[in-house]
């Protein structure tokens, strides 16, 4: 019985996620992040993409946001950690907060913890210069 439930869960996880405007923008963001591992991300491209992602968040239904939330949060977190310029970090942080607000709010704890750990891991020479990376406005998320 447990095997059948496990197989059903695995089959459901393997189903493709339906593509929407929001999903297409998340896929583009994942592509930018993947290419940014070799060289810093293009600030103008990231800024435009995050601006579009922000407007798509306003239009997308909650179910669509929840389907793409994990992938989007992962891509945004990677963009923040890879060292994007300040305006891009601000937009990425804002998008992260809005996704958590409109999607599944439970992920705020793990994301904030991961980013906090990144800041205090001892490898940052100036943690205060990186502090705006955790631009998630927790007050707005929990009010």
Residue 11: per-residue pLDDT = 46
Domain that holds residue 100: 19-142
Average pLDDT of the chain, as a whole number: 77
Residue 74: per-residue pLDDT = 92
Question: What is the DSSP secondary structure assignment for residue 135, as one 8-state letter?
Answer: -
Q: What is the pLDDT of residues 64-104, one digit of tens each?
A: 999 999 999 999 988 887 877 888 888 988 898 899 889 88
Q: Is residue 10 part of a domain?
A: no
Q: Is residue 6 part of a domain?
A: no
Q: How many domains does the chain have?
A: 1
Residue 40: per-residue pLDDT = 81
Q: How far apart are CA 142 and CA 97, in angstroms?
A: 11
Q: What is the pLDDT of residues 94-104, one digit of tens each?
A: 898 899 889 88
Q: Is residue 12 part of a domain?
A: no
Q: Is residue 5 part of a domain?
A: no
Cβ neighbour number for residue 59 with a 10 Å cutoff = 10
């Amino acid at each position: 019985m447990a095997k059948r439930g496990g197989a059903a869960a695995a089959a459901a996880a393997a189903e493709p996620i339906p593509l929407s405007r929001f999903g297409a923008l998340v896929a583009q963001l994942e592509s930018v992040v993947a290419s940014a591992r070799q060289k810093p991300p293009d600030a103008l491209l990231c800024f435009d993409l995050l601006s579009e992602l922000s407007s798509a968040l306003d239009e997308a239904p909650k179910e669509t946001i929840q389907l793409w939330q994990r992938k989007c949060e992962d891509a945004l977190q990677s963009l923040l950690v890879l060292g994007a310029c300040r305006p891009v970090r601000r937009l990425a942080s804002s998008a992260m907060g809005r996704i958590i607000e409109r999607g599944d709010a439970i992920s705020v704890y793990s994301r904030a913890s991961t980013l906090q750990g990144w800041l205090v891991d001892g490898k940052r020479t100036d943690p205060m210069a990186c502090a705006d990376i955790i631009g998630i406005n927790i007050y707005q998320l929990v009010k």
